[in-house]
Structure 1
Amino acid sequence: RIEMGDLEQVSGVISKVDAYLNLALEWLAGQDVAAAKECLTDCYCEDLFRLGYSLTLRLQRRAAVVGKTSVAPYLDHNARACVSALNQNPPLFFEGVADPTRGGTRLFASLEEIHSVDQWLARIETQRELFEDALQFMLPEPADLDLSGCQPDQADEVTLVEFFLTSLANKLLGREFQPLPIAEEELAGLHGMVSQSGVLHPRLREETVKWLNSMVSGGGDFAGYCLDIWEEEFCSVGFEDIDPRFVGGLIIRLETYEPIT
């Protein structure tokens, strides 16, 4: 129920009606203006509104499932923002999906935005499957994550990328595939293993992408995304210039840290 004298409330309702009618018409008629006019003539506006709203509601239901998983706190910033926007009432579009420089939210304006968010959710669902089912990671609650003496040192700075690449680094260094912090003094040796002439070693990329793809369909895309971070922030730097404060994708135990006994 709305108060007709409240212009802001009335404007908000009109915006919703307009947004969902447009989504429904685009779903039914595409870019065919004549077909869209026919839909408006033959269909009840209420039915069109419900159809448009249902397209966003499907995304919201998937986002709600993702939000209850162990990977949710460790999604990257934009992925978390996308899920958070979908969980609003009504479901909203996170503008960073279309433009990484933007961070606002608004009503969905086109099927292209619906499809883009659908693809984002699919990637997030793949990451969930990788970590919970394939790799069987026991991701801790952020409050239980001990980052004493580490870089990064805050749980909200750690994402699935850090968990995966830190585990991969441990494996390359001859240890178990676990996200245990890498000692700062091991970075130079790790750099020599993963880089070749300032870029990621092609064989490492090929084998890692193939490995994750063998576990989960589309898992190789996540591997490629992670390894791109290594290539840009780790491999491109000479080993003598490595600064653990600026190495992306790794949880690093700093040399200056002395545990309290």
Structure 2
Amino acid sequence: MSAHREDKIRRLAAPDIAARKGGEPLVCLTAYTAPVAAALDDACDLLLVGDSLGMVVHGLPNTVGVTMEMMILHGQAVMRGSKRAMVVVDMPFGSYEGAPKEAYANAVRIMKETGAQGVKVESGPTIPDTIAYMVRRGVPVMGHVGLRPQAVLVDGGFKAKGKDEAGRALILEEARLTAEAGAFAVVVEGVAESLAREITAAIAPPTIGIGASAGCDGQILVTDDMLGLFDWTPKFVRRYADLKGEIERAAADYARDVKARTFPGEAETYYAKKG
């Protein structure tokens, strides 16, 4: 075995994530660019190239307008920036809800063109069969139940789910079917703590919560929310930094120095050689 192979860091994969059920909580964050992926890599078990990039990076009103090309472009960047964490890419709206064969072809394209280790789909009522079809053909799939952002136009907004008994039963059943179909993990979003714990106890794959309490097997947040890049963040987000404030301060300091002609100074200026 060459020295190059011996020194190479082994990237986490679906079996590693699945094996964490009931153990040390999984640490997951979204990533959309190479430098941010590199900064997050050591701390995270899984980096999700979320279709939230449509809103976070591109300023779209929701995730419905995100394309395959957008997901692949950002997936490639995250793979270049990370070395250790498993990278999962969201399948965008319209790329997997039809025939399982079409979903499989799109998943294969994402994985081949990005090098990612898996894909994520939102687990609506027709999706478990598609998950099973893809898993049987070698595609690691992460599910997503509860609040499903791609259903925002049907739901009329980003609304918490499972507030009544019928809603709870539906989400629990979707989670069970998703697990039985072969998903290696299931994101649980925007549900009450008691339902999140019930889902976590009922299914074999680890649950990864977002707005679903500490009762899940791991947690994920949109990194830009966690870093304080927006004026408003959802109730379930804890801000660990104020990067928007830092960026505004840095831009103001830069503008001041440019206007005062103190930037660039001698340290930032090239000079011709004498003689």
Superposition TM-score, scaled by structure 1 size: 0.28
Select the structure that is richer in strand. Answer: 2
Select the structure that is richer in helix. Answer: 1
Superposition TM-score, scaled by structure 2 size: 0.27
